Amino acid sequence: MAETTLATIDELLEGTLDDVDDPDIRYKLRSARQLLQVVQQRQDIMDEAIDTAIEDEEVLQNLRDLGYTE
């Protein structure tokens, strides 16, 4: 099972892509997976910025617990 919501969505799209033969739908599913990768990259950049900006480990852990960072 995937660890994050984005990973779960990617797995669902990948599974659906394997089950579809229509080229137009396959194109749309591949495009959706690519956009999902962009969202993941932005999330990673934001997480890094937060980790760099906040030095208090307790605050960082609270943000992780609340789902704001990974």
- Give residue limits of the domains in the chain: 5-65
Query: Who contacts 5 (Cβ-Cβ below 8 Å, separation ≥6)?
Result: none
pTM of the model: 0.74
Distance CA 39, CA 22 (A): 26
Residue 26's Cβ-count burial label (10 Å; 0-12, 13-18, 19+) is middle
Q: Which carries the bigger pLDDT value, residue 68 or residue 58?
A: 58
Q: Per the structure block, which two tokens stand in for 39?
A: 């969202």
Question: Amino acid identity of 27?
Answer: Y
pLDDT of residue 38: 97
For the chain, how long is the longest CA-to-CA vector? 51
Could you say which DSSP state residue 3 is in?
A: S
pLDDT digits (tens, 9 = 90+) for 2-52: 688 899 999 999 999 999 999 999 999 999 999 999 999 999 998 899 888
